[in-house]
């Protein structure tokens, strides 16, 4: 008699279920969220998640659900492939997939699969990640999406990276992600550990840890199972005491409990008391009750993996078709295998597979792996994505070294094509390790050893592990140099050239002086060692890379010479992508040397050429430099168009966060921030990640601060909090973020913080012996503005000493700004309108600090920016209005004020609007927004209210006079009148009334 295991009611998980359902609510409301469900094997993770899945489907979610497999950690993106395959019947998913070839390659019918040469392989992973993000976003626009990835402790490295990527990038999409993993398998050095730790730091990620079920819940589950069983079959009574015994032995593990119950009910009543201890032994005792063929099927399936293809297991089991079917049916009846929606059967629980596998005799195991290898090596099976990686494992397990070697090479190629460089590197490395143990390795692999080494290294680099790549390439170079005397053919020479060229490019990325020097050395030696005739793309590439290593030098002469040579050789060799890249370098140099018209011509040509050569990386690099050149010239409309087009290309191809893909996005934003199309700018900025965990993302988030600070958006706090950990980190210099933090502080009247943040930014763009870069002008002007505020205030209180100190500090800052504008390092550099505008602003603030707030100085700022810079114009008009008011030119002041206010309102530039209101009240120009005052204050004139506000702020009569542009005598008259009207005995009392009546609750800029 056999116990049926129905998917009965879920017991004892109300809390956990509730938390996961909240996740669905969040996703529906457009807040992307993730949960990590953890617990021991058999405790009920899958059961809980399937409950959530069922409810989600009922609520109209699109559910994608994929499984990792124990043998699968070398198969790239296995759970994702599984999830996509499972959902591919849905038209929405099919449509979304069909426009994303990078993703369709995961499926059996698999998309195109051209192999990128190692020169252009670097973008595959980003395309894959971008593709998944795009797919989820597209699906979530129609219905909310639930993505379930089960058993992540077995996930491959690429999947782990993908999970991290999605958790950070998904923000407002209607997507919920649930991952599960086993806690009992997560030993201290398990690669999932750091991933879990990182994910749990994100505010959107929740941990749901499943404790053992409490005895009463377990008892309830068993009773229900039994009851259902009793209805279905003849009674197999079980005493309460026996049930309690099972509950006690299972220690809260639902699966263990079920197996115990099954053994109890199914076994011989006489043997009930003598059940083996421990789950594995129990499971095996259940297996042993089956017929021989059924046991053989289980053993074969255990070697094949948890979810094995039915036809494969049959073939490997060696059973005839009818015998096999009977055996499977028997295993299903005993609840050891269950039918799987996709193809055939799976073990009811992974623990069963593990127990059966562990019980195989050594020889038997080797033999079964061998059989499996033979079957998988058939071309038809091998063509299925992921099979080569599995084959390599079966070969290794059956000690078939040549087979493992060949399969590893193939698995490496496949992983590379799928955008899983970590796995590709791993497989190529495996093949390298086996090289010497194979009879004809070069013939088997179809590759020279050095080529295999090069592939291993480039994929390590593409997975982000540059240090490993550099290490491998250095070793390869040494070996090749040692062999050089033995006579080398033309292919060897090309390979050597590639190895040197890749080494030089990776060294350049290390952002370290020693590595940069080595890069120059290696690049030069590589050019020298590569034959010039006949012209080859390898030679052209080596020269262009040598040119790029020279871009860090002060003098661009060599860089330009080499780039020109590289371009000519590339043309002769018919390598348009290398030609385009060299042309970008030339355009970049022209831009740096101040010949911007020439730069734009070259870069426009390079951009076109890269697109025709279908090299995305170069195309984006060209788009970036071209948009930048336009922006610097103040051609905001063209700059925006180029950057927008680049952004679209990057997003379409999943490269939005790749180098230059990221840059065109921020340039697109910059152009619209400058030209005043702020609704568009805000939309772009909102797309920049907030919960950043890498330097490039922190950079992008800093860009969003331009608008978030100018509008005083609530996002500012969260962005700053996430950026901060990167301030001292590698690869993120924090310059922009600090400059903007200084502005933020200044808007809030905190001159202290404004000055210190600006100073930190200033220090970052000083390179001895050359001195400051032009980017210093902006933070210097912000610090100057703060100094001017303090000088004005000091002077108002008669504190001439402080005022003089502030002026001295301001003079230093002005000097820094001027030095930056002169840019000694690149004397040919020409400052664009933005730089000139900020420089003029620095000069004007200096005059304001000196007590000579000259309208003409502000007019010069307006002229330097030009009217295209909408926000900067309004900001300047505010200061111009103030200066005009101080000079008694009230009508002109009012006109500037009105224009500025209009722009501030249009842009929703709240801090600027508040500053304008403040100026309006003080100078009595314009129309400050009215704030409802209490009746007590109704008797005061608007002027008197302003004075009261200042009294409440602790200002003396002299300060009040200065702030309000009136004589001290007049101020003291106002004060007496106010005290009289309020019936206040003192200034303190008047201040208290002002607070009580809410007059001073409004933040005032000064
Ligand atoms: N809360 C529960 N209520 C009822 N049955 C449960 C519960 N938790 C687990 N089970 C049952 O126990 C067995 C093992 O659970 P499973 O979810 O597969 O464990 P895990 O995924 O954690 O390894 C399954 O048969 C499942 O239906
Ligand atoms: Mg499970």
Q: List phi, psi (to 5°) of 67.
A: -120, 140
Q: Identify the band that residue 825 occupies on the pLDDT scale cut at 50, 70 and 90.
A: confident
Distance CA 951, CA 565 (A): 73
Distance CA 760, CA 168 (A): 29
**Contacts (Cβ under 8 Å, ≥6 apart) of 736:** 699, 702, 703, 705
Q: Chain centroid to CA 493: how far? A: 39
Residue with the smallest CA separation from ligand 1 atom 16 is 44
386, 84 in Cβ contact below 8 A? no
State in Å: Cα 351 to ligand 2 middle.
9
Q: Is 231 a residue whose pLDDT tops 60? A: no
Residue with the smallest CA separation from ligand 1 atom 9 is 44
State in Å: Cα 208 to ligand 1 middle.
15
Ligand 1 atom with the shortest distance to the CA of 150: 21
Q: What is the pLDDT of residues 272-305, one digit of tens each?
A: 666 777 888 989 988 998 999 999 999 999 999 7
Distance CA 424, CA 157 (A): 11
Distance CA 428, CA 431 (A): 5
926, 913 in Cβ contact below 8 A? no
Task: Note the pLDDT of residue 660.
Answer: 85
Scanning 634-770, the segments in alpha helix (DSSP H) are: 636-652, 661-675, 678-686, 695-710, 715-723, 735-747, 751-764
List C-alpha distances in Å: 625 to 628, 828, 957: 5, 18, 56
Instruction: Count other C-beta atoms under 10 Å from residue 980's C-beta.
Output: 10
Residue with the smallest CA separation from ligand 1 atom 25 is 255
List 66's β-bridge partners, or say none.
149
Distance CA 649, CA 651 (A): 6
State in Å: Cα 910 to ligand 1 middle.
55
Distance CA 401, CA 310 (A): 27
Our CA angle for 817, 823, 828, nearest 5°, is 140
Q: Which ligand is nearest to the CA of 69?
A: 2
| Gyration radius of the chain's alpha carbons | 35
Q: Is 1002 a residue whose pLDDT tops 50? A: no
List C-alpha distances in Å: 650 to 205, 618, 645, 691, 847: 28, 12, 9, 21, 46
State in Å: Cα 255 to ligand 2 middle.
10
Instruction: Count other C-beta atoms under 10 Å from residue 700's C-beta.
Output: 23
Sheet strands (E) in 314-451: 337-339, 345-347
Exposed, middle or buried: residue 384 (CB in 10 Å: 0-12, 13-18, 19+)? Answer: middle
Among 216-220, 229-233, 709-713, 921-925, where is mean pLDDT lowest?
Answer: 229-233
Best of 154, 181, 224, 254 to mutate for ligand 1, by most ligand atoms within 8 A of CB? 254
239, 67 in Cβ contact below 8 A? no
Residue with the smallest CA separation from ligand 1 atom 11 is 254
Tokens for 427, please give them. 């497989």
Tokens for 816, please give them. 């820094």
Distance CA 202, CA 995 (A): 40
State in Å: Cα 254 to ligand 2 middle.
11
What is the per-residue burial (b if ≥16 Cβ within 10 Å, else e) of 181-214?
bbeeebeeeeebeebbeebeebebbbebebebbe
Residue with the smallest CA separation from ligand 1 atom 24 is 255
Dihedral in degrees, nearest 10, Cα atoms 242, 244, 250, 256: 50
Ligand 1 site residues, Cβ closer than 6 angstroms: 5, 10-13, 39, 41-47, 213, 221, 254-255, 258, 349
Q: Is 930 a residue whose pLDDT tops 70? A: no
Ligand 1 atom with the shortest distance to the CA of 12: 1
List 772's β-bridge partners, or say none.
766
Q: What is the pLDDT of residues 45-76, one digit of tens each?
A: 999 999 999 999 999 999 999 999 887 678 88
Q: List phi, psi (to 5°) of 388.
A: -60, -40
Residue with the smallest CA separation from ligand 1 atom 26 is 47
Task: Note the pLDDT of residue 633.
Answer: 86
Ligand 1 atom with the shortest distance to the CA of 210: 22
User: How many residues does this entry show for the chain?
Assistant: 1006
Q: Is 270 a residue whose pLDDT tops 80? A: no
Distance CA 1006, CA 1002 (A): 11
State in Å: Cα 348 to ligand 1 middle.
11
State in Å: Cα 210 to ligand 2 middle.
12
Tokens for 36, please give them. 């990590």
Ligand 1 atom with the shortest distance to the CA of 221: 4
Task: Note the pLDDT of residue 7.
Answer: 61
Among 379-393, 747-761, 932-946, where is mean pLDDT lowest?
Answer: 932-946
Task: Note the pLDDT of residue 1.
Answer: 41
Distance CA 74, CA 725 (A): 33
Task: Note the pLDDT of residue 931.
Answer: 46
Q: Which ligand is nearest to the CA of 183?
A: 1
Ligand 1 atom with the shortest distance to the CA of 10: 3
Q: Is 3 a residue whose pLDDT tops 50? A: no
Best of 46, 346, 347 to mutate for ligand 1, by most ligand atoms within 8 A of CB? 46
**Mean pLDDT across the stretch 237-259?**
87
Our CA angle for 130, 131, 133, nearest 5°, is 65
Residue with the smallest CA separation from ligand 1 atom 27 is 47
Q: What is the pLDDT of residues 656-700, one digit of tens each?
A: 767 788 889 999 999 999 999 999 999 999 888 887 877 778 888
Scanning 336-420, the segments in alpha helix (DSSP H) are: 350-358, 362-376, 379-382, 387-397, 401-417
Tokens for 846, please give them. 């200096």
Q: Is 112 a residue whose pLDDT tops 80? A: no
Task: Note the pLDDT of residue 676.
Answer: 93
State in Å: Cα 759 to ligand 1 middle.
59
Q: Is 1003 a residue whose pLDDT tops 70? A: no
Element (H, E) at 269: none
Q: Identify the band that residue 307 occupies on the pLDDT scale cut at 50, 70 and 90.
A: low
State in Å: Cα 67 to ligand 1 middle.
16
DSSP 344: S
State in Å: Cα 338 to ligand 2 middle.
14
Ligand 1 atom with the shortest distance to the CA of 351: 23
Q: Which ligand is nearest to the CA of 149?
A: 2
State in Å: Cα 261 to ligand 1 middle.
14
DSSP 193: H
918, 885 in Cβ contact below 8 A? no
Q: Is 1004 a residue whose pLDDT tops 50? A: no
Ligand 1 atom with the shortest distance to the CA of 50: 17
47, 164 in Cβ contact below 8 A? no
Distance CA 437, CA 435 (A): 6
Residue 861's nearest CA partner among 890, 888, 900, 829 is 900
Three-state DSSP class for residue 868: coil
**Mean pLDDT across the stretch 764-791?**
94
Q: Is 999 a residue whose pLDDT tops 80? A: no
Tokens for 54, please give them. 């069922």
Q: What is the pLDDT of residues 393-418, one digit of tens each?
A: 999 999 999 999 999 999 999 999 88
579, 609 in Cβ contact below 8 A? yes
Distance CA 75, CA 414 (A): 10
**Mean pLDDT across the stretch 17-46?**
95
Q: Which ligand is nearest to the CA of 351?
A: 1
State in Å: Cα 654 to ligand 2 middle.
32
State in Å: Cα 399 to ligand 1 middle.
37
92, 57 in Cβ contact below 8 A? no
Distance CA 459, CA 170 (A): 27
Q: Chain centroid to CA 786: how far? A: 35
pLDDT mean across residues, the chain: 88
Query: What is the pairing mode between strands 33-39 and 175-182?
Result: parallel
Q: Which ligand is nearest to the CA of 154?
A: 2
Q: Identify the band that residue 932 occupies on the pLDDT scale cut at 50, 70 and 90.
A: very low
Task: Note the pLDDT of residue 488.
Answer: 63
Task: Note the pLDDT of residue 929.
Answer: 52
Among 15-19, 628-632, 771-775, 993-997, where is mean pLDDT lowest?
Answer: 993-997
**Contacts (Cβ under 8 Å, ≥6 apart) of 227:** none
Task: Note the pLDDT of residue 2.
Answer: 46
Q: What is the pLDDT of residues 357-398, one digit of tens each?
A: 999 999 999 999 999 999 999 988 888 888 999 999 999 999
Distance CA 725, CA 698 (A): 9
Q: How many CA atoms lie within 13 A of 182 on its CB side?
A: 21
Ligand 1 atom with the shortest distance to the CA of 43: 22
Ligand 1 atom with the shortest distance to the CA of 180: 21
State in Å: Cα 44 to ligand 2 middle.
7
Best of 255, 346, 347 to mutate for ligand 1, by most ligand atoms within 8 A of CB? 255
Q: Sign of the CA dihedral 567, 568, 569, 574?
A: positive
Task: Note the pLDDT of residue 493.
Answer: 85
Distance CA 846, CA 782 (A): 11
990, 948 in Cβ contact below 8 A? yes
Task: Note the pLDDT of residue 235.
Answer: 46
Distance CA 433, CA 542 (A): 29
**Contacts (Cβ under 8 Å, ≥6 apart) of 70:** 154, 305, 306, 350, 353, 354
Tokens for 972, please give them. 């003291």
Q: Is 638 a residue whose pLDDT tops 90? A: yes
Would you give the end-to-end CA distance of the chain in angstroms?
87
Q: What is the pLDDT of residues 471-506, one digit of tens each?
A: 999 999 988 877 766 666 666 888 999 999 999 999
639, 601 in Cβ contact below 8 A? no
Task: Note the pLDDT of residue 969.
Answer: 82
Tokens for 45, please give them. 């993770």
Residue with the smallest CA separation from ligand 1 atom 15 is 44
Element (H, E) at 39: strand 33-39
More confident residue, 158 or 614: 158
**DSSP letter string, 527-552:** HHHS--SS--HHHHHHHHHHHHHGGG
State in Å: Cα 386 to ligand 2 middle.
22
Exposed, middle or buried: residue 534 (CB in 10 Å: 0-12, 13-18, 19+)? Answer: exposed
State in Å: Cα 11 to ligand 1 middle.
10
Best of 6, 11, 41, 47 to mutate for ligand 1, by most ligand atoms within 8 A of CB? 47
Q: List phi, psi (to 5°) of 843.
A: -60, -45
DSSP 307: B
Q: List phi, psi (to 5°) of 253.
A: -95, 115
Query: What is the pairing mode between strands 62-67 and 766-767?
Result: unpaired
More confident residue, 595 or 941: 595
Q: Is 172 a residue whose pLDDT tops 60? A: yes
Those residues whose beta carbon sits under 5 angstroms from the ion ligand 2 are: 45-46
Cis peptide, bond prior to residue 534, ω within 30 of zero = yes
Q: Is 872 a residue whose pLDDT tops 70? A: yes
Ligand 1 atom with the shortest distance to the CA of 254: 12
Element (H, E) at 887: none
Distance CA 559, CA 548 (A): 7
**Mean pLDDT across the stretch 421-440?**
94
Q: Which ligand is nearest to the CA of 15?
A: 1
């Amino acid at each position: 008699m056999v116990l049926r295991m129905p998917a009965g009611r879920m017991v004892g998980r109300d809390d956990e279920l509730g938390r996961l359902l909240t996740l669905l609510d969040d996703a529906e409301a457009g807040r992307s969220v993730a949960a990590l469900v953890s617990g021991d094997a058999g405790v009920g993770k899958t059961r809980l998640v399937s409950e959530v899945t069922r409810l989600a489907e009922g609520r109209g979610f699109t559910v994608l659900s994929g499984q990792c497999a124990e043998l699968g950690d070398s198969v790239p993106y296995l759970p994702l492939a599984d999830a996509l395959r499972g959902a591919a019947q849905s038209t929405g998913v099919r449509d979304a997939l069909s426009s994303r070839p990078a993703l369709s390659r995961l499926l059996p019918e698999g998309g195109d699969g051209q192999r990128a040469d190692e020169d252009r392989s670097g973008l595959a992973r980003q395309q894959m990640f971008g593709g998944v993000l795009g797919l989820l976003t597209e699906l979530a626009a129609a219905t909310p999406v639930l993505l379930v990835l089960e058993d992540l402790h077995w996930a491959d490295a690429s999947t782990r990276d993908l999970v991290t990527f999605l958790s950070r990038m998904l923000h407002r999409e209607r997507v919920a992600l649930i991952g599960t993993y086993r806690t009992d398998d997560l030993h201290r050095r398990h690669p999932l550990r750091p991933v879990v730790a990182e994910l749990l730091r994100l505010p959107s990620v929740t941990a749901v840890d499943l404790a053992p079920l409490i005895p009463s819940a377990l008892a309830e589950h068993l009773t229900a199972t039994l009851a259902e069983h009793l209805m279905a079959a003849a009674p197999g009574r079980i005493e309460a005491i026996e049930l309690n015994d099972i509950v006690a032995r299972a220690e809260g593990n639902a699966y263990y409990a079920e197996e115990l119950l099954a053994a109890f009910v199914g076994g011989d009543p006489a043997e009930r008391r003598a059940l083996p201890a421990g789950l594995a032994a129990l499971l095996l005792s259940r297996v042993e009750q089956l017929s021989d063929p059924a046991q053989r099927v289980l053993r074969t399936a255990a070697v094949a993996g948890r979810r094995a293809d039915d036809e494969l297991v049959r073939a490997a089991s060696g059973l005839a078709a009818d015998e096999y079917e009977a055996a499977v049916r028997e295993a299903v009846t005993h609840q050891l295998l269950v039918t799987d929606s996709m193809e055939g059967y799976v073990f009811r629980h992974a623990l069963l597979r593990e127990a059966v596998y562990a019980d195989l005799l050594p020889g038997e195991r080797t033999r079964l792996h061998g059989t499996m290898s033979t079957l998988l090596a058939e071309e038809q099976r091998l063509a299925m994505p992921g099979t080569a990686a599995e084959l390599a494992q079966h070969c290794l397990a059956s000690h078939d070294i040549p087979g493992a070697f060949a399969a590893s090479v193939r698995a490496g190629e496949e992983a590379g094509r799928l955008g899983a460089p970590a796995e590709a590197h791993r497989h190529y490395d495996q093949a390298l390790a086996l090289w010497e143990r194979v009879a004809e390795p070069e013939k088997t692999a179809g590759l020279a050893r050095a080529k295999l080494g090069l592939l291993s290294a480039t994929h390590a680099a593409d997975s982000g592990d540059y240090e490993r790549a550099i290490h491998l390439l250095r070793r390869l170079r040494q070996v090749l140099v040692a062999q050089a005397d033995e006579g080398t053919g033309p292919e060897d020479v090309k390979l050597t050239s590639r190895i040197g060229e890749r080494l030089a490019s990776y060294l350049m990325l290390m952002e370290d002086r020693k590595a940069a020097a080595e890069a120059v050395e290696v690049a030069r030696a590589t050019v020298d060692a590569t034959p010039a005739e006949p012209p080859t793309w390898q030679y052209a590439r080596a020269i262009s890379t040598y040119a790029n290593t020279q871009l860090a030098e002060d003098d661009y002469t060599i860089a330009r010479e080499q780039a020109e040579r590289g371009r000519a050789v590339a043309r002769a060799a018919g390598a348009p992508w290398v030609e385009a890249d060299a042309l970008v370098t030339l355009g970049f140099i022209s831009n740096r040397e101040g010949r911007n018209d020439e730069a734009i011509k070259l870069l426009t040509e390079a951009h076109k050429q890269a697109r025709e050569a279908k090299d995305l990386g170069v195309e984006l690099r060209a788009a970036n430099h071209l948009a930048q050149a336009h922006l610097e010239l103040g051609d905001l409309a063209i700059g925006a168009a180029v950057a927008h087009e680049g952004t679209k290309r990057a997003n379409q191809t999943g490269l939005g966060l790749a180098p230059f893909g990221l840059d065109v996005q921020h340039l697109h934003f910059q152009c619209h921030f400058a030209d005043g199309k702020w609704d568009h700018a805000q939309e772009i900025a909102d797309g920049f990640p907030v919960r950043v965990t890498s330097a490039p993302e922190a950079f992008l988030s800093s860009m969003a601060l331009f608008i978030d600070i100018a509008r005083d958006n609530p996002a500012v706090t969260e962005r700053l909090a996430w950026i901060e950990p990167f301030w001292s980190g590698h690869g993120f210099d924090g310059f922009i973020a600090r400059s903007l933090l200084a502005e933020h502080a200044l808007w809030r009247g905190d001159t202290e913080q404004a000055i210190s943040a600006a100073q930190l930014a200033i220090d970052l763009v000083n390179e001895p012996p050359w001195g400051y870069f032009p980017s210093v002008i902006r933070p210097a002007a912000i610090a100057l503005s703060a100094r001017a505020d303090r000088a004005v205030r000091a002077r108002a209180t008669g504190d001439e000493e402080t005022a003089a100190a502030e002026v001295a500090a301001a003079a230093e800052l002005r000097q820094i700004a001027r030095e930056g504008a002169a840019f000694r390092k690149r004397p040919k550099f020409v400052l664009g309108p933005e730089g000139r505008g900020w420089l003029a602003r620095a000069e004007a603030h200096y005059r304001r600090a000196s007590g000579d707030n000259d309208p003409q100085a502000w007019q010069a700022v307006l002229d330097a920016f030009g009217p295209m810079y909408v926000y900067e114009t309004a900001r300047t008009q505010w200061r111009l209005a103030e200066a005009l008011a101080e000079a008694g030119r009230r009508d002109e002041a009012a006109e500037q004020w009105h224009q500025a206010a209009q722009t501030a309102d249009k842009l929703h530039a709240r801090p600027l609007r508040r500053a304008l209101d403040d100026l309006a009240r003080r100078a009595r120009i314009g129309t400050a927004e009215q704030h409802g005052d209490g009746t007590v204050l109704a008797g005061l004139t608007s002027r008197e209210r302003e004075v009261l506000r200042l009294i409440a702020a602790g200002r003396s009569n002299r300060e009040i006079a200065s702030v309000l542009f009136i004589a001290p005598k007049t101020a003291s008259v106002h004060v007496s009148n106010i005290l009289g009207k309020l019936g206040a005995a003192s200034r303190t009392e008047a201040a208290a009334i002002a607070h009580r009546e809410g007059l001073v609750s409004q933040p005032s800029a000064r």
